[in-house]
Chain A
Amino acid sequence: KNQVEQSPQSLIILEGKNCTLQCNYTVSPFSNLRWYKQDTGRGPVSLTIMTFSENTKSNGRYTATLDADTKQSSLHITASQLSDSASYICVVSGPGGFKTIFGAGTRLFVKA
């Protein structure tokens, strides 16, 4: 069964610190992997998208990595800010038709 699992479920860090969120998936075949940020009460917003041939992609302080062999991805947040407090969702798609699976998300709290 195609699945996307994220860890940790939630995380609390101090402002200015770095953190890394994990995503493991079993979706096969694989087309692309996306990370979304979802602020409370808002819809998800795309941070990065990676295809099979890409193993790292950055968007400002956000850097996503992908290991398609082990089916793992991570999202690294550098120098966290209070505004980074949100849920981060890993989404994996297969080719053809509609094969998109959402992870349950990691809830990040950044404290002053």
Chain B
Amino acid sequence: NAGVTQTPKFQVLKTGQSMTLQCAQDMNHNSMYWYRQDPGMGLRLIYYSASEGTTDKGEVPNGYNVSRLNKREFSLRLESAAPSQTSVYFCASSEQSNYEQYFGPGTRLTVT
């Protein structure tokens, strides 16, 4: 089992460019999440998907969109990147909402 995988590991974007972060899990989990982590701050929820076919906004959704493509995959899209979106992005999954979460290795994104 690979657990939770994320691609890419690193990315540099110019302001205004768009990109999609990919996430997949092979644990047959129902719930999936996207977080960002900034220095000195806790993980902040961007969007989550409680189950296949549903998505909901988290604490900091502005500037992002998500797609729950199927039970395995949950992608995060930045339509027009801004320097404030420079961060480390983590995808996670859990059997159900509020259960133990399993995290991917993260994507380090820099927007110049």
Contact = CB atoms under 8 A, between A and B. Distances in A.
Interface in A29-77: 31-32, 34, 41-46, 49
Taking residues whose C-beta sits less than 8 angstroms from the other chain, chain B's interface range is: 20 to 34
B40 A104 contact: yes
Interface residues of A, number: 25
Given A98-B97, A99-B98, A43 B42 contact: no
B101 to A, nearest CB: 8
With most chain B CB atoms within 10 A of its CB, the pick from A41, A94, A95 is A41
Interface in B7-65: 35, 40-45, 48, 50, 56, 58
A98 B56 contact: yes
A98 B98 contact: yes
A90 B14 CA distance: 34
Contacts of B103: 43-45
Given A4-B42, A93-B98, A98 B50 contact: yes
Contacts of A96: 98
Given A43-B90, A43-B105, A100 B100 contact: no
Interface of B: 4, 35, 40-45, 48, 50, 56, 58, 90, 92, 97-98, 100-106
Interface of A: 4, 31-32, 34, 41-46, 49, 89, 93-105
